[in-house]
Amino acid sequence: MLLIDEAALDDITLGSTVLGAGGGGDPYVGMLLARDAIRRFGPVPLVPLDEIADDANIVFIAGMGAPGVLIEKLPRAAEYERVLRELERFTGITFDYVCPAEAGGLNAVTPFATAAAAGVPVVDADGMGRAFPHLEMVTPTLYGGSATPMVMVDEHGNNMYLTTEANPWAESYARAAAVASGANTAMALYPMTGAQAKERLVRGALTVAAEIGRTIKQARVDHVSPVDAVLENQNGVLLFRGKVEQVERRNEGGWTIGTANLSGLDEDRGLSFVLHFQNENLVAERDGAIVATTPDLIMAMELDSGQPIPAEEIRYGYRVAVIGLPSDPHWRTPAGIDLSGPRRFGYDWDFVPVEGFRR
């Protein structure tokens, strides 16, 4: 067990921006909520999945909405502090642990706000090993796990208590409620036992986020390329170096959707590159050829500092390296690709693994 204080939270925040694959909402916003809770209630225990009792009760804590909305309308700690208690009241179950639904983006760190306020530990695991835009796109779905019973709360004092027959229904109802609430809500969902979590979740996801964050920071101190350091640390692939020339982006149906067009720099000079995103970067297109797709991770990082750049923030003039990281093995199965591959998002392309690209 580790105690997550402000310094450890900062490492997780930076690393989770990379694991966000361009989406998941800005983790810095979630870090502010979690940091305030840690200051008020003290450091939060982070517990390895294998140390949890099989009969323990675990639940995901997450936010739902459009990442672009968070730039202008910040979430509040009150929603994350009350959502767990509302689910306990709804189900009659006392939850022993909370867990991030995704290790990428805002949702990697907001569970610490809930955990600190409720006095429960956080599980070092998640349901993605990255970020995905749809509620059903978690590893528990691959094993028959149910998103409900769940509770969603918003800043207006509304609470939604939901049970559904299938996880896509939970996504549809929750998304509609999130849009009605202003695309900024908090949820407690996917209740499970310790035994189920050990089968279904991505182990050590928050440890990986913290390691990526420390890797970037140390590279800056050592005056070496943070991009290269992350690639080496995570067995990643450099897909492109370039300058952002044009971004088309819109908030639609609770998602931030669009493309970013890049022109090549250095050895990629004269080449073009397109990032396709729906909250997360989902497809990487290099000179007209698809070189990486979801469920693998595609992320833009600022060339010099290695600062990861979310899809809602990327804009003209950025000089970036686009990297690809292999997804967790859960997603490389036929069921995983069917649930989270490019065709699931409406693209007419098959899954292209990042390691297939050669410069």
Digit-coded pLDDT (tens) for 91-142 = 999 999 999 999 998 899 999 999 999 999 999 999 999 999 889 999 999 9
Digit-coded pLDDT (tens) for 148-178 = 999 999 989 999 999 999 999 999 999 899 8
Name the band, by pLDDT with cuts 50, 70 and 90, for residue 72: low
Q: Give a yes or no: residue 337 inside a domain.
A: yes
Q: Decide which of 205, 236, 268 is a domain's last residue.
A: 205
- Mean predicted lDDT score pLDDT of the chain: 93
Q: Give a yes or no: residue 287 inside a domain.
A: yes
Q: Give a yes or no: residue 211 inside a domain.
A: no
Q: Give a yes or no: residue 218 inside a domain.
A: no
**Diameter of the chain measured on Cα atoms:** 61
Strand partners, 286: 273, 289
| Residues 335, 341: Cα–Cα separation, whole Å | 10
- Which residues form the domain of 265? 225-356
Looking at the fold, whether 234 and 111 belong to one and the same domain comes out as no
Looking at the fold, whether 35 and 84 belong to one and the same domain comes out as yes
Looking at the fold, whether 154 and 38 belong to one and the same domain comes out as yes
Q: With 80 as the cut, is the pLDDT of residue 73 above it?
A: no
Q: Give a yes or no: residue 215 inside a domain.
A: no
Looking at the fold, whether 185 and 243 belong to one and the same domain comes out as no
| pLDDT score of 115 | 96
| pLDDT score of 281 | 95
Q: Decide which of 145, 176, 205 is a domain's last residue.
A: 205
Looking at the fold, whether 155 and 59 belong to one and the same domain comes out as yes
Looking at the fold, whether 96 and 181 belong to one and the same domain comes out as yes
Q: What is the CATH number of the domain that holds 325?
A: 2.40.390.10
Digit-coded pLDDT (tens) for 9-43 = 999 999 999 999 998 777 888 888 899 999 999 99
pTM across the whole model: 0.93
| pLDDT score of 69 | 56
| pLDDT score of 255 | 72
Digit-coded pLDDT (tens) for 226-249 = 999 999 999 999 999 999 999 999
Looking at the fold, whether 82 and 26 belong to one and the same domain comes out as yes
Q: What is the CATH number of the domain that holds 73?
A: 3.40.1610.10
Looking at the fold, whether 10 and 142 belong to one and the same domain comes out as yes
Q: Give a yes or no: residue 91 inside a domain.
A: yes
Looking at the fold, whether 155 and 289 belong to one and the same domain comes out as no
Q: Give a yes or no: residue 220 inside a domain.
A: no
Rounded to 5 degrees, φ, ψ at 335 are -65, -40
Q: Is 193 helix (H, G, I), strand (E, B) or coil?
A: strand
Q: Which string of DSSP letters, residue by residue, matches 265-292?
A: -GGGTT-EEEEEEESEEEEEEETTEEEE
Q: Give a yes or no: residue 216 inside a domain.
A: no
Looking at the fold, whether 166 and 235 belong to one and the same domain comes out as no
- C-alpha to C-alpha distances, 354 to 102, 199, 302, nearest whole angstrom: 20, 26, 20
Looking at the fold, whether 186 and 233 belong to one and the same domain comes out as no
What is the distance in angstroms between the CA of the first residue and the CA of the last residue of the chain?
A: 41
| pLDDT score of 71 | 57
Digit-coded pLDDT (tens) for 243-259 = 999 999 987 766 788 99
How many separate domains does the chain show?
2
| Average pLDDT value for residue range 184-195 | 95
Looking at the fold, whether 148 and 194 belong to one and the same domain comes out as yes
Q: Decide which of 148, 174, 205 is a domain's last residue.
A: 205
